[in-house]
Amino acid sequence: MADIFHSSQPIYQQLAERMKKQIIRGELAPGDKLPSVRETGIEVSVNPNTVQRTYRELESMHIVESRRGQGTFVTENEEVLESIREEMKTEVMSTFFKGMHEMGYTNEEIKHGLIEFLNEKGEQDA
Amino acid sequence: MITLTDVSKRYGTKKALDHVNLELTTGKLIGLVGENGSGKSTTLKLIAGLNYPTNGEVRVDGEKVTRRIADSVSYLSELDEYYRFFTVKKSIEFQASQFKDFDKEKAYDILKFMKLDPNDKLKQLSKGNRGRLKIVLSLARNVPVILMDEPFSGLDPMVRNSIVKGLISFIDLEKQLVLITTHEIREVENILDEVVAIKAGSIIGHHNVEELREQKQMSIVDWMTEVYE
C-alpha cells in the first residue's frame, strides 16, 4: 500500500491528484460526501494530518466544499468539474507530446500513431 | 509538548546524549531515527521518566519529568515485558489497574482491529501478535504523549502494516503527540509529520517530512542517507 505514493514527492499533492481522478471518473460523484480524514488515512496508509491538508488543497481549488459539522462534499458545480477535467487532460497530453517530440516525432506522425494505437486497443486500458 | 533543554546523559564514561535540544509539539507523529547505539532509546527513557539526564532538563507539557510523568506518558518498550502466563484479556485488565487513564473500551476496539483473541495466553501468541498486543496496550491510554520504542522491529510486513493502520486509526492527533523510534523508515514514510535524526548522541536534523519532499524532493530515506554521510 505504501507503494501508491512516491516518497520523494509531497504526499498531500499526490493524494489530491488521486482524488481528483476519482472525481473526474465519477467514482466520487458531484454532491458525494468524502470519507472522513481518518477513513481516507486508513485506506491509503497516510497520516491524517496529511489527508487534512489534501482536503484543504482540494477545497481551495473549489473541487470540494466543507460544510460545518457535516463533512466534506464533492462540488456540484459542473463548470468547476469540467475545467478540472480539461486541465488534467491537457497536463497528461503535454507530457505525452513532450516525450514524443523529444524522440523526434512530427505532429503528423503522432496523429497517425495515435489513431492506429486507438484502433488496436479499442476502449480498453493500454 | 516535549522539550529537552541542553540534555546530556552519560552511562559511566560513555556519552549517550550530548547537549541535546529538542522541541516536539502536540498533534504530530514524529519519528526518531538513527543507527544502533545513537541514543534513540535513551531519549525515550528520559522523556518517560525511566531515567534521568546527567545534565539539562526534560519537560512534558511544562512539567519537569520525574517517575510520576507516567501519568501523562504512555511508553512502549522494545522488550517483551508482559507476563507470559497472562491471557490477552488479563493483560488488558492489568494495564487498566495500573493506569487511571487506560480506556478499556478503546483497548477492545484496537484488539478487534488487530484481530487478537482475548482468551489467548501470551506465551501462545506469535511474535507478530505480541507486537500487536503491545500496540493495543500503549494506544489505549488517554494520555498526551505516547512513546514507542521500535514497534516494528523484527516483525513481518503484514504485522508492520497492521501497526501502521492501527496508529492511523487510534491515535488522536488533536490531543496527542506520538514519538516513535524505528529502523524501518520505509514503513513510516507516509505516516510521519516530522523526522528527527540522531547520531552518536547528537541531533543532526529535525524536519517536517512534507517540507523535505516539497523543498528538496527528498524522501526520509534520501534525507537520512544525506545527513548520515
Residues 6+ apart with CB under 8 A from B164: A45, B187, B188, B191
Residue pair A75/A36 in contact by the 8 Å Cβ criterion: no
Is pLDDT above 90 for B65? yes
The whole-number pLDDT of residue A67 equals: 92
Mutate to test the interface with B, among A9, A17, A47 (most CBs of B within 10 A): A47
Output the CA–CA distances (angstroms, integers) from residue A65 to A34, A53, A83, A109, B146, in the order listed.
10, 14, 17, 44, 34
Interface size, chain A vs chain B, as Cβ–Cβ contacts under 8 Å? 62
Residue pair B31/B223 in contact by the 8 Å Cβ criterion: no
Is pLDDT above 70 for B217? yes
Asked if A48's CB is within 8 angstroms of B168's CB, the reply is yes
Distance CA B127, CA A82 (A): 52
Residues 6+ apart with CB under 8 A from A2: A45, B186, B187, B189, B190
Q: State pLDDT tens for residues B96-134.
A: 999 999 999 999 999 999 999 999 999 999 999 999 999
Q: State pLDDT tens for residues B170-193.
A: 999 999 999 999 988 888 999 999
Is pLDDT above 80 for B218? yes
Q: The C-alpha cell of B16 is what?
A: 549517550
The whole-number pLDDT of residue A3 equals: 66
The whole-number pLDDT of residue A1 equals: 46
Is pLDDT above 80 for A126? no
Asked if A8's CB is within 8 angstroms of B27's CB, the reply is no
Query: With bands split at pLDDT 50, 70 and 90, how would you rate the model's confidence at A2?
Result: very low
Residue pair B78/B42 in contact by the 8 Å Cβ criterion: no
Residue pair B182/A25 in contact by the 8 Å Cβ criterion: no
Mean confidence (pLDDT) of chain A: 92
Q: In the Cβ-directed half-sphere of B58, how many Cα atoms lie within 13 Å?
A: 25
C-beta atoms surrounding B141 within 10 Å: 25
Block residue for cell numbers 502466563? B85
Name the percent of chain B lying above pLDDT 70: 100
The ipTM, to two decimals, is: 0.89
Output the CA–CA distances (angstroms, integers) from residue A108 to A111, A114, A115, in the order listed.
5, 10, 11
Is pLDDT above 60 for B4? yes
Is pLDDT above 50 for B78? yes
With an 8 Å Cβ cutoff, is A41 touching chain B?
Answer: yes
Q: State whether residue A30 is helix, strand or coil.
A: coil
* Strand boundaries in chain B, DSSP class E: 2-11, 14-24, 29-33, 55-60, 63-64, 73-76, 145-149, 177-181, 194-199, 202-208
The whole-number pLDDT of residue B183 equals: 84
CA distance, residue B196 to nearest chain A CA (Å)? 17
| B187, B210, B217 ranked by CB distance to A11: nearest | B210
Name the percent of chain B lying above pLDDT 90: 86
Q: The C-alpha cell of B116 is what?
A: 487478537
The whole-number pLDDT of residue B56 equals: 97
| B27, B214, B221 ranked by CB distance to A7: nearest | B221
Interface residue ranges in chain B relative to chain A, Cβ cutoff 8 Å? 27-29, 161, 164-165, 168-169, 173, 186-187, 189-193, 210, 213-214, 217-222
Distance CA B128, CA B157 (A): 10
Residue pair B33/B13 in contact by the 8 Å Cβ criterion: no
With an 8 Å Cβ cutoff, is A2 touching chain B?
Answer: yes
The whole-number pLDDT of residue B52 equals: 95
With an 8 Å Cβ cutoff, is A95 touching chain B?
Answer: no
The whole-number pLDDT of residue A125 equals: 62
Distance CA A15, CA A54 (A): 7
Element (H, E) at A66: strand A64-67
Q: State pLDDT tens for residues A41-82.
A: 999 999 999 999 999 999 999 999 999 989 999 999 999 999
Output phi, psi for B202, to 5 deg: -120, 145
The whole-number pLDDT of residue B41 equals: 94
C-beta atoms surrounding B184 within 10 Å: 20
What is the amino acid identity at position A8? S
Of A14 and A125, the structure prediction assigns the larger pLDDT to A14
Asked if A48's CB is within 8 angstroms of B213's CB, the reply is no
Domains of chain B, with CATH numbers? Answer: 2-227 (3.40.50.300)
Q: State whether residue A94 is helix, strand or coil.
A: helix
DSSP state of B115: T
What is the amino acid identity at position B148? M
Mean confidence (pLDDT) of chain B: 94
